Amino acid sequence: MPGGAGTVRITYRLRSGLYFAYTLAEAVTVLAARRIRSRLGRKAPPDRRASFLRIFLLHAFGRQPPIRITCAERSDGAGAQAHTIMSAMCFAQAHGHTYVHTPFAAIDHAEQPAPDWVDAWEKLFNLGDGEERAETLKGRVYNYSSFHPRLYYAMTGGFRSADESRSRTRKGVGRPERHFHPYFYYADSHPESFQAIIPELRRKYWTGKKRSGNGDLMVALHMRRGDVTARNTMRYTPIESVHRTAEAVKSVLTDAGISYSMRLYSQGPADGFAALRDVGVDLCLDVDAVWTMQQLITADVLVMSKSSFSYVAALISDGIKLYEPFWHPPLRSWLPRNSHGRFDRREFERQLKNFR
């Protein structure tokens, strides 16, 4: 109801205003106290909060000093960490700040000895190419992976803009609510802002690599399994949905007379993917994750899943992307699939014609 929505918005803005006022008062009090101690000749104890509050205060009053942003102290999967770094680059580019690189230190789901596993992903994405290193800088560097919501709000122009961006959802592509994570919130609210850094992401990735020659059109299907089961509906995709997408893609390619290969990249026993195998999809199960990422990035058609793994591949890929809705929204050029695996066939045909 309109009245209900208006009440929610007013309540949100009231809470946001109080939150902002509290932080403002805290910043003035803490920084003034430290200045008084300094004037009295008493050394103020180290306080990481003071540095944060100083930056918050400057941004709150519109001075907007450029800061250095990095991503560090993460240990989750390669896709999630790369996605965070790309979001940090996106945020820095949009707000006139500088991204400085911190190499991966620990990555979950290791398939090799830890140092080799980390090094393999660092070399694959090559995100530090051309960037300053955080460890070589003497000035304050902020860790975007643990960005404080209050600093985020000040840097993005206050609570009103954040409130309004919350409702910007592409027509027909909903996404479930989730806990607030400042390091994803800007890119999720403004997914088209990735366009500004995609050329650089591709340059970094392809530096020192060779593209394969032309052959059959490659279709890559990604399905998240392994640590995701049917009980986790936020991350799980039923095989029926992927099967319907695969059949539709095959129909378009066959009608167009295009020779193609179609592969599924996932985890688990082959019997669980029999429906896809029976319609001619090659199964690549439990294979090296680094190699899998390479295949997703270089695919001509990428069928994504509810995962940062395929989301990151889609950002680097210059192929056609069929997007499965989840909490990270798509770019405009990506074709959304619904929960049944259906998508806009005419738009896919149009993109395919331009791609070939």
Structure confidence at residue 157 (pLDDT):
62
Which helix (H) or strand (E) covers residue 30, if one does?
A: helix 2-39
Structure confidence at residue 12 (pLDDT):
61
How sure is the predictor about 142, in pLDDT bands with cuts at 50, 70 and 90? confident
Separation CA 80–CA 82 (nearest Å)? 6
Per-residue pLDDT for 64 more than 80? no
The answer to whether residues 217 and 141 belong to one domain is no
State the average pLDDT for the chain. 86
| DSSP sequence for 43-74 | PPPP-HHHHHHHHHHHHHTT-----EEE--S-
Per-residue pLDDT for 161 more than 50? no
pLDDT digits (tens, 9 = 90+) for 276-317: 999 999 999 999 999 999 999 999 999 999 999 999 999 999
Mean per-residue pLDDT, 258-273 = 94
Task: Give the total number of structural domains in the chain.
Answer: 2
Residue with structure tokens 């403004």? 190
**Domain hosting residue 44, numbered range:** 2-204
The residue from 187, 204, 221 where one domain ends is 204
The residue from 161, 183, 204 where one domain ends is 204
The answer to whether residues 253 and 191 belong to one domain is no
Output Rg (C-alpha) for the chain, integer angstroms: 23
Structure confidence at residue 256 (pLDDT):
94
How sure is the predictor about 93, in pLDDT bands with cuts at 50, 70 and 90? very high
Structure confidence at residue 1 (pLDDT):
44
Per-residue pLDDT for 136 more than 60? yes
More confident residue, 250 or 6: 250
The answer to whether residues 296 and 200 belong to one domain is no
The answer to whether residues 192 and 220 belong to one domain is no
The answer to whether residues 170 and 261 belong to one domain is no
Query: 311-316: which pairs have CB atoms within 8 A and are 24 or more residues apart?
Result: 311/79, 311/83, 312/79, 312/82, 312/83, 312/86, 313/222, 315/86, 315/194, 315/198, 315/201, 316/198, 316/201, 316/202, 316/205
Q: Take residue 235 and report the two structure tokens written for it.
A: 């991350």
Q: Take residue 202 and report the two structure tokens written for it.
A: 């591709």
- pTM of the prediction? 0.84
More confident residue, 58 or 78: 78
